Amino acid sequence: MSVIVDDDLWSAVGDPTRRRLLDLLLNQGSGTATSLSDHLPVTRQAVAKHLVVLGRAGLVHATTAGRERQYRVDQNQLGRAVAQLADVGAAWDSRLQRIKRIAETIQTKKNATETKK
């Protein structure tokens, strides 16, 4: 089973600060780099850079309001990320089940061999 994964998307959400930004934006509805930096142990400039990465991945979109840029989560792209994660999880569950069956077969054969001795 092969799962197609968007590396840019997962690279964007692979960083804990960016995941925290997504959480904040989901909880608050929107935010600016300045307002978001108040909730994180990083500078406003660092938050702005993280928002650019999230924007390139399509996870957030910005609108200009005066001198500030308001960021919002793109629900469709976030849904796509969640679906990909579910697919990856299902693929790994399938792989682990195959490994378990192989290990059980080996153990059964080993037990049968030891019983015959």
Between CA 62 and CA 65 the distance in angstroms is 9
Which DSSP state fits 70? E
Query: Each residue of 17-67: pLDDT tens digit?
Result: 999 999 999 999 999 999 999 999 999 999 999 999 999 999 999 999 889
Phi, psi of 63 (to 5 degrees): -125, 145
Would 1 be classed as within a structural domain? no
Total domains, the chain? 1
Domain that residue 96 falls in: 7-116
Query: Each residue of 95-117: pLDDT tens digit?
Result: 999 999 999 999 888 888 888 76
Between CA 51 and CA 45 the distance in angstroms is 10
Between CA 60 and CA 75 the distance in angstroms is 9
Phi-psi domain of 76 (left: phi exceeds 0; alpha: psi -120 through 50; beta: other): alpha
Between CA 85 and CA 3 the distance in angstroms is 10
- CATH number, residue 86: 1.10.10.10
